[in-house]
A and B are shown apart, each in its own frame.
Chain A
């Protein structure tokens, strides 16, 4: 509570100032606001009628104005009429001075020049056309062609002959190829035969060894036979002894422990045969030593050995014999081979010689055929050379003929052109002559007369003045054709009038006149053909004078409308026509007024008012004028008046 308080006095001052300012502004706010608002004049929208009239101005002109012209330069001696004067057809207008005019002198000179040119042209164009040189050249070329053709015929080779020759070459080539193949094969066979012959030998054909072997075999066979005979004898002789020993030996064998273990008969028999010899020796040495049995047994045994040896000798002799036979057979085979290859070699040599001869003959035939074809080719080349020569000559002949034709055509064309030029010259001369005659006779002895009835509108030359070619000397309005006036209006306005309508005419601010205007046609205005039309009036009545400015009003169609506003209230922009109406808005200080835009469509319009339709009703206030530009919803101030 005792803390020092901040000084807040400024806040109070600010608050006071703030409130005073606001109070001040509030007091003057209406005044300030009204100053800034645009002041507008308003008018009631009313219902009523509108009379549509099209107004405009035009100048009275004569429908037809005759221009008095002169075609030569002459001096005017006197002028017989003055502007505003009425003249009749045949009345004198101008008198000209004596003498040729410059135009007549010039025309005569031109005529003379043309005539001279024509005479020169006649001499110049007398040309002759000679084609002898070209025709001689053509004849010479034709002769050369014929001579060359005669030479060419000697070298003509028919296609059939040439084909036969070429076929013969081809056949010979085939024969050479076949002979070559056969020769190559024969040479190859000869080489193979030579190779085979080199490796074989004649072979050994001696039969002495065989004979010796056969003899040895015979001896061995004889020894065997003897040994077998001895054995047979001794076997018969000592057979009994042997049987005794044999039986004893069998009994021994059969009594042995080993035999007793055997179970089958075959095993027992094999065992007996195996052990029989040993046991027999054992039985003899044990039981029959020194006896006959021992002797018989030993003899028999010896005989058996001798037989076995003899058999071995026989087998050995057989083997030697077989060997000798084999050697003899091998020697015979080598001999045969030798002879065979020798024969082959001789045959191959003979074949190779035959084939070589055949090949040589075929090659000769081929050479001959080729030589024939080569000769034919040479003839053909010659023939072609002559042909080329003939073609060249024919080409030259064609060129010569073409040149001749072209020359003839050009000459013909030149002749035609010359004829045309001459004709043109003749025409020019005729025209120049006419011109001279026309100028000579145009002024009718130096006076100019009127050709129409009318009023002289203007005179463009005075006495003593020089005329120029085609100069207008005077203009005469043709009274008989009447007067007209034109008025430019919009296309929309033009729709409201019809041909035959009469327009009100006034000639000045002081009032009307006796002049009547009747609409005769409606045309496009050349100045703006899309939007504008020209109303053409026929002007009649008293006091009609060309050049008079008149005011025209046409169209009298009165109609009632619900809403009519002053033209000054109508505004338009890109969105079309519109008016601003006054809208009141209550506020604490009374009503505030604002401008509200209402889009309208103009139905009819006269000089003062326009009938409109849209969101506007009768007795709405429409703004006609304002002191500042106004916009939609802008606050406005009503004019006090």
Chain B
């Protein structure tokens, strides 16, 4: 019986390891290739970007190469010292994503508090509507967003991205579920002590939901850090577009730079994850165990 259990665990470990390696491969490839020279990258992937006129030294098929022939910081030097465009795009991303995260977490917390504190058919119906919205893919709401942005006159401004990003049913749903597990007696006790709604919200609920707020913030950050469709549709001005869009339109001569930029672009997300890893795990775990 014990042998059977050990065998089972070993098999699960091997399968998990294989999947982990598969999922990690693109990231590892990006990081390792960012240390290659432009010539080596052209030789390996030139055929993809120069399909019409491949260079004589370009291999006929794209070659996935993990170890550089000669480790070079040429791409990083180009990105950091010779290409202000990439750095500006990075800050464009920051300018777009940071307000979205703050505003979305704030509005979601207030909305969730409302759903938690007041119950009734109307509230239940509204919450159900939120769930329906949450299930809809973003692309469905893209056209209405465009029309509304145009109507509001904020098309081709950063607000056309930030404003729709403020209101996200998924965050509201998660926070509502989390807040509903706060014991009612705690809130009642606060009320007896003379606390108002704002005080209850800020002093009782938010501290209790810190892990959930952190996990939502991380998820929202990752989501909007990697956005591509919204800026393309709502922000035609290339000067205002985030780096994620710029990366997707990289051309043949800048493949090596793209690897370096992608690696740099990865750092904020990684740091955020490392910083809030425990909150993220805790928050998701609690949300998973919450009973509505």
Report yes or no: B87 in contact with A11, Cβ–Cβ below 8 A: no
Report yes or no: A588 in contact with B239, Cβ–Cβ below 8 A: yes
> What B residues does A6 contact at CB under 8 A?
278
Q: Contacts A6-B278, A36-B82 known; A26 to B271 CB distance under 8 Å?
A: no
Q: Contacts A1-B282, A26-B91, A588-B238 known; A11 to B84 CB distance under 8 Å?
A: no
Q: Give residues 83-130 of B contacting A (CB, 8 Å).
A: 83-85, 87-92, 94
Complex Cα distance A84/B136, Å? 111
Q: Contacts A588-B88, A588-B239 known; A32 to B275 CB distance under 8 Å?
A: no
> What B residues does A29 contact at CB under 8 A?
80-84, 87
Complex Cα distance A26/B238, Å? 17
Report yes or no: B90 in contact with A22, Cβ–Cβ below 8 A: yes
Report yes or no: B87 in contact with A25, Cβ–Cβ below 8 A: yes
Which of A12, A36, A633 makes the CB contact (< 8 A) with B253? Answer: A633
A-B contact count (CB 8 A): 67
Complex Cα distance A153/B275, Å? 144
Residue of B81, B92, B94 contacting most chain A CB atoms (<10 Å): B81
Report yes or no: B275 in contact with A8, Cβ–Cβ below 8 A: yes
> What B residues does A25 contact at CB under 8 A?
80-81, 87
Which of B82, B85, B275 makes the CB contact (< 8 A) with A587? Answer: B85
Residue of B83, B211, B282 contacting most chain A CB atoms (<10 Å): B83
> What A residues does B274 contact at CB under 8 A?
8, 11
Complex Cα distance A10/B252, Å? 38
> What A residues does B94 contact at CB under 8 A?
19
> What A residues does B271 contact at CB under 8 A?
11, 14-15, 18
Give the nearest-CB partner of A37 in chain B. Answer: B82
Which of B81, B85, B90 makes the CB contact (< 8 A) with A32? Answer: B81
Q: Give residues 1-43 of A contacting B (CB, 8 Å).
A: 1, 5-6, 8, 11-12, 14-15, 18-19, 22-23, 25-26, 29-30, 32-33, 36
- Is A589 positioned at the interface, with any CB of B under 8 Å from its CB? yes
Complex Cα distance A1/B178, Å? 14
Give the distance to chain A from B72, nearest Cβ to Cβ, in Å: 17
- Is B268 positioned at the interface, with any CB of A under 8 Å from its CB? yes
Complex Cα distance A22/B89, Å? 11
Complex Cα distance A95/B272, Å? 113
- Is B267 positioned at the interface, with any CB of A under 8 Å from its CB? yes
Report yes or no: A26 in contact with B84, Cβ–Cβ below 8 A: yes
Complex Cα distance A586/B80, Å? 19
Complex Cα distance A392/B78, Å? 110
Report yes or no: A22 in contact with B87, Cβ–Cβ below 8 A: yes
> What B residues does A12 contact at CB under 8 A?
275
Give the nearest-CB partner of B94 in chain A. Answer: A19
Give the distance to chain B from A470, nearest Cβ to Cβ, in Å: 67
> What A residues does B88 contact at CB under 8 A?
26, 588-589
> What A residues does B282 contact at CB under 8 A?
1
Give the nearest-CB partner of A633 in chain B. Answer: B253
Residue of A26, A32, A588, A589 contacting most chain B CB atoms (<10 Å): A588
Report yes or no: B238 in contact with A33, Cβ–Cβ below 8 A: no
Complex Cα distance A268/B94, Å? 166
Give the nearest-CB partner of B241 in chain A. Answer: A588
> What A residues does B277 contact at CB under 8 A?
8
Complex Cα distance A6/B276, Å? 10
Which of A18, A30, A586 makes the CB contact (< 8 A) with B84? Answer: A30
Which of A1, A15, A33, A586 makes the CB contact (< 8 A) with B82? Answer: A33
Q: Mark B197-227, 1 if CB is under 8 A from A, else 0.
A: 0000000000000010000000000000000
> What A residues does B89 contact at CB under 8 A?
588
Complex Cα distance A592/B253, Å? 16
Give the distance to chain B from A76, nearest Cβ to Cβ, in Å: 77
Q: Mark B257-292, 1 if CB is under 8 A from A, else 0.
A: 000000000011001101111100010000000000
Which of A1, A14, A33 makes the CB contact (< 8 A) with B83? Answer: A33
- The SS class assigned to the A binding surface is helix
Chain B, interface residues (CB within 8 Å), range: 20 to 34
> What A residues does B239 contact at CB under 8 A?
587-588
Report yes or no: B81 in contact with A33, Cβ–Cβ below 8 A: yes
Complex Cα distance A32/B253, Å? 21
Give the distance to chain B from A291, nearest Cβ to Cβ, in Å: 150
Give the distance to chain B from A232, nearest Cβ to Cβ, in Å: 149
Q: Contacts A11-B271, A18-B268, A588-B89 known; A33 to B84 CB distance under 8 Å?
A: yes
Report yes or no: B275 in contact with A588, Cβ–Cβ below 8 A: no
Give the distance to chain A from B245, nearest Cβ to Cβ, in Å: 12
Complex Cα distance A36/B77, Å? 12
Give the distance to chain B from A355, nearest Cβ to Cβ, in Å: 111
Give the distance to chain B from A23, nearest Cβ to Cβ, in Å: 8
Q: Mark A182-197, 1 if CB is under 8 A from B, else 0.
A: 0000000000000000
> What B residues does A32 contact at CB under 8 A?
81-82
Give the nearest-CB partner of B90 in chain A. Answer: A22
> What A residues does B272 contact at CB under 8 A?
15
Q: Give residues 586-620 of A contacting B (CB, 8 Å).
A: 586-589, 592
Give the distance to chain A from B189, nearest Cβ to Cβ, in Å: 19
Complex Cα distance A373/B76, Å? 124
Give the nearest-CB partner of A26 in chain B. Answer: B87
Complex Cα distance A30/B85, Å? 9
Complex Cα distance A33/B87, Å? 12
Q: Contacts A1-B282, A5-B278, A22-B90 known; A15 to B84 CB distance under 8 Å?
A: no
Give the distance to chain B from A460, nearest Cβ to Cβ, in Å: 67
> What B residues does A15 contact at CB under 8 A?
268, 271-272, 275
Give the nearest-CB partner of B237 in chain A. Answer: A588
Give the nearest-CB partner of A23 in chain B. Answer: B91
Give the distance to chain A from B99, nearest Cβ to Cβ, in Å: 16
Complex Cα distance A32/B272, Å? 30
Complex Cα distance A8/B85, Å? 32
Complex Cα distance A15/B276, Å? 13
Complex Cα distance A19/B282, Å? 28
Complex Cα distance A445/B87, Å? 103
> What A residues does B87 contact at CB under 8 A?
22, 25-26, 29
> What A residues does B268 contact at CB under 8 A?
15, 18-19
> What A residues does B278 contact at CB under 8 A?
5-6, 8
Report yes or no: B81 in contact with A36, Cβ–Cβ below 8 A: yes
Complex Cα distance A434/B84, Å? 98
Complex Cα distance A36/B78, Å? 11
Report yes or no: B82 in contact with A589, Cβ–Cβ below 8 A: no
Give the distance to chain B from A249, nearest Cβ to Cβ, in Å: 137
> What B residues does A36 contact at CB under 8 A?
81-82
Give the distance to chain A from B183, nearest Cβ to Cβ, in Å: 14
> What B residues does A586 contact at CB under 8 A?
238
Complex Cα distance A26/B85, Å? 9
> What B residues does A11 contact at CB under 8 A?
271, 274-275
Complex Cα distance A56/B63, Å? 59
Complex Cα distance A547/B268, Å? 82
Give the nearest-CB partner of B272 in chain A. Answer: A15
> What A residues does B80 contact at CB under 8 A?
25, 29
Give the distance to chain B from A49, nearest Cβ to Cβ, in Å: 39
Give the distance to chain A from B261, nearest Cβ to Cβ, in Å: 12
Complex Cα distance A537/B253, Å? 57
Q: Contacts A15-B268, A18-B267, A18-B268 known; A589 to B84 CB distance under 8 Å?
A: yes
Give the distance to chain A from B276, nearest Cβ to Cβ, in Å: 8
> What B residues does A588 contact at CB under 8 A?
84-85, 88-89, 92, 238-239
Residue of B83, B87, B91, B277 contacting most chain A CB atoms (<10 Å): B87
Give the nearest-CB partner of A5 in chain B. Answer: B278
Closest 8 CB pairs of A and B: A29-B84, A588-B239, A26-B87, A11-B275, A15-B271, A588-B88, A11-B274, A32-B81
Some 26 contacts from A to B, beta carbons below 8 A apart, are A1-B282, A8-B276, A8-B278, A11-B271, A11-B275, A12-B275, A15-B271, A15-B272, A22-B87, A22-B91, A25-B87, A26-B88, A26-B91, A29-B81, A29-B82, A30-B84, A32-B82, A33-B82, A33-B83, A587-B85, A588-B85, A588-B89, A588-B92, A588-B238, A588-B239, A592-B85
List 10 additional contacts besides A30-B84, A587-B239; criterion CB under 8 Å: A8-B274, A15-B268, A22-B87, A22-B90, A26-B84, A36-B81, A588-B88, A588-B239, A589-B84, A589-B88
